[in-house]
Amino acid sequence: MNTNIIIGIVGCVLSLVLIFARVWVGPSMMMISLIGITIMRGWKYTLGALSPIAYSEMAKYTWACLPLFVLMGCTLSVSGIGGDLYNFARAVLGKIRGGLAMATIAACAFFAAICGDSIATAVTMGKVSLPEMKHYNYNEGLASCAVVSGGTIGIMIPPSITFIMYAMITEQSVGRLFAAGMIPGITQALFYMIAIAVVCKIRPEYGGDELKITRKERLKSIIPVWPVVLLFILMMGGLYGGYFTPVEAGAFGALFTFVIGFALRRLNKQKVSEILKDMVQSSGMVLFLIVGAFFFIRFITLSGVATSLTKMLTEWQASNNIPRIVIVIIIISFYFITGCFLDCLAVVLLTLGIVFPIITSLGYDPIWWGVMMVRVLEMSMVTPPFGLNLFCVSRTCQVPIGVVYKGAFPFVIADVAHVALLIALPELSLWLPKLIGLM
Q: Are 102 and 197 in contact (CB under 8 A)?
A: yes
pLDDT of 365: 93
Domain count within the chain:
1
Dihedral angle sign, alpha carbons of residues 160, 163, 169, 173: negative
pLDDT at 437: 65
- The pLDDT, as a whole number, for residue 34 is 92
Q: Could you give the CA distance from residue 45 to residue 22 in angstroms, rounded to a whole number?
A: 30
Specify the pLDDT at position 343.
Answer: 67
Residue 12 is predicted with a pLDDT of 86
pLDDT score, position 24? 79
Domain that holds residue 394: 3-435
pLDDT at site 126: 83
Which residues have CB under 8 Å from 419's CB, separation 6+? 332, 372, 375, 376, 379
Query: What pLDDT sits at residue 344?
Result: 67
pLDDT, averaged per 10 consecutive residues of the chain (439 residues), comes to 84 83 81 92 87 83 85 82 84 86 91 78 83 89 90 86 87 90 94 94 87 79 83 85 86 89 86 88 82 87 84 82 88 82 73 88 92 88 77 78 86 94 93 78
Predicted local confidence at residue 438, as pLDDT = 60
3-state secondary structure labels for all residues of 182-217? HHHHHHHHHHHHHHHHHHHHHCHHHHCCCCCCCHHH
Condensed to tens digits (0 to 9), the pLDDT of residues 183-234 reads: 999 999 999 999 999 999 999 889 888 777 777 878 888 888 888 888 888 8
What pTM did the predictor assign? 0.86
